[in-house]
A and B are shown apart, each in its own frame.
Chain A
């Protein structure tokens, strides 16, 4: 590969993902760049770091929204590829980073990068998302988040210092919530009736979400489709 601006970094050059052709990395970047939202998400970067100081993920993980905006603004193809297969999954998509004096939206860039990574079924993306198949299963099939009884506080330092205390009494606290869809529900995040479920399934199909799932996890896709189609037919 010739020395270009895109591989100007001797520290990482030819070391991280040498087996992925430069043209492929560039193609992925151009797919991100061609998104109509891209222009609204990225202007230019001062490298001032206000997004990092506002970012909860940056406090706990090796993650910097500044580097994302910076690499994208510089169109640093090699670094962008690294970001696409690694960094973007450390973002919580909270969008605290939009307090940018230049009007950038690093979290939005992460959204675009994730969409392209998933749409292209990158191997690393499949690996990363493997751990989420249970979450996807829950959310898409049950219309629910991970339920409170599944909570393992040791794994989530970013949930704050009180997470242990909350976990210990979760069941009691849940029973006390005076809201119909939450009261007495401890094995799910909230109660979802079958009409709502059928509506959700329809949304997943119509919006192309099922196609995305198919791209990253075909086994999960088959499982979901089977249950969903049955439910939709019954409805």
Chain B
């Protein structure tokens, strides 16, 4: 075996990829732009994970510890990849860390630069997000849930009636994000349960197009929310959010009961989807890997079945840099990307 694996991005996928490369006997250099490892769950102060309702800080903390304490992983925070040349087996990489440039040679690269949450003000004013303080996003609510202090931003009082609007920034041809962001149904349902736990007197409603609770999310999150926590699911997407007194009036259709509806709410949560992060867009350009029409890194390889292969041999992708992904997806991809990246190290030795 010869050479090292460069991992770009210190979120869940990058961390897991680094751990796996080390477990397989390889050496990794992990480059992270932020001061801290942990990626989006850390930066956005996630409360609980959809997996076993684990505390996010604790779960991600374990992952960080497994990497920072690992002699086979060299962690560089506040660091950015500035230039890459060469090919599989011998990439020359320039890393800038704290104003100092360093050139390293690696055999393979794993891109794990992740996603960003859709900004409801990106294209047009979605549901008056930037106008009404009581219209918030999943990420805004996640922070409040973590602090166990869910209040209406307008008056600091706990909300009694809370609505989630699904598919904000996803599944929208006009917006350009035609894809399903995959996790928002689960996250909204998870948050709805947490809301009912923290505010037992609240009414929580989720307005959706389809509930996409794949696999065990069905019975572990969706059914729990609906049956134990009496979260109301209404099939029908809200067209607009208006002001009514000091409350919000939302308009939509209750499609299965076949009637238009107007409901007042204290708090409206926009279930924002995933878009490629700025880092993902930049690094894709820099590496020359193909991006799909949405800006995510195109994965699949020539046969279409390899979820971690990019258009450039020796460069692999893991996690939400390749498209909407939950933590299971990110971990599965990270493990496979690590195996493929280490395989390059073996091939390099043979060559």
Question: Which residues does chain A contribute within 8 Å of B264, judged by CB atoms?
Answer: 3
Per-residue CB contact flags for chain A residues 67-83 toward chain B (1 = under 8 Å, else 0) read: 10010011100010000
Q: Which of chain B's residues have a CB closer than 8 A to the CB of A73?
A: 226, 232
Q: How many residues of A contact B (CB 8 A)?
A: 19
Could you say which of A10, A45, A79, A102 contacts B260, with CB atoms under 8 Å apart?
A10
Q: How large is the interface on B (under 10, 10 to 19, 20 to 34, 35 or more residues)?
A: 20 to 34
Assembled-state Cα–Cα distance A75/B227 (Å) = 12
Q: Does B256 contact A (CB under 8 A)?
A: yes
Q: B220-277: which residues lie under 8 A (CB-CB) from chain A? A: 223, 226-227, 230, 232-235, 254, 256-257, 259-264
Ranked nearest first, the 9 interchain pairs of A and B with the lowest CB-CB distance are: A44-B226, A47-B256, A44-B227, A8-B263, A11-B259, A43-B227, A3-B264, A5-B203, A74-B232
Q: Decide if the interface of chain B is mainly helix, strand, loop or mixed.
A: strand
Binary flags per residue of A45-84, CB closer than 8 Å to B gives 1, else 0? 1010000000000000000001100100111000100000
B residues engaging A (CB < 8 A)? Answer: 161, 203, 205, 223, 226-227, 230, 232-235, 254, 256-257, 259-264
Measured CA separation A10–B253 after assembly (Å): 11
Complex Cα gap A8–B262 (Å): 6
Is B261's CB under 8 angstroms from A9's CB? yes
Residues of B within 8 A of A5 (CB): 161, 203, 205, 232, 263
Q: Once the chains are docked, how many angstroms separate the CA of A9 from the CA of B226? A: 21
| A residues neighboring B (CB under 8 Å) | 3, 5, 8-12, 43-45, 47, 66-67, 70, 73-75, 79, 102
Picked from A43, A44, A67, A75, the residue with its CB within 8 Å of the CB of B257 is A67
Closest-CB distance, B268 to chain A (whole angstroms): 14
Partner of B261, one of A8, A44, A45, A47: A8
Instruction: List the B residue with the shortest CB-CB distance to A11.
Output: B259
Q: Smallest CB-CB separation from A75: which chain B residue?
A: B230
How far apart are the CA atoms of A3 and B245 in the complex, in Å?
A: 12
By a CB distance below 8 angstroms, the chain B residues around A44 are 223, 226-227, 233
Chain B positions within 8 Å of A75 at CB level: 230
Q: Which residues of A contact B262 (CB under 8 A)?
A: 8, 10
Instruction: Find the B residue at minimum CB distance from A3.
Output: B264
A45 to B263, CA, bound (A): 21
A13 to B: closest C-beta gap in Å = 9
Cβ of A157 to closest chain B Cβ, rounded Å:
24
Q: Determine which of B203, B223, B254, B259 lies in contact with A43 in the assembled complex, contact meaning CB atoms within 8 Å.
A: B223
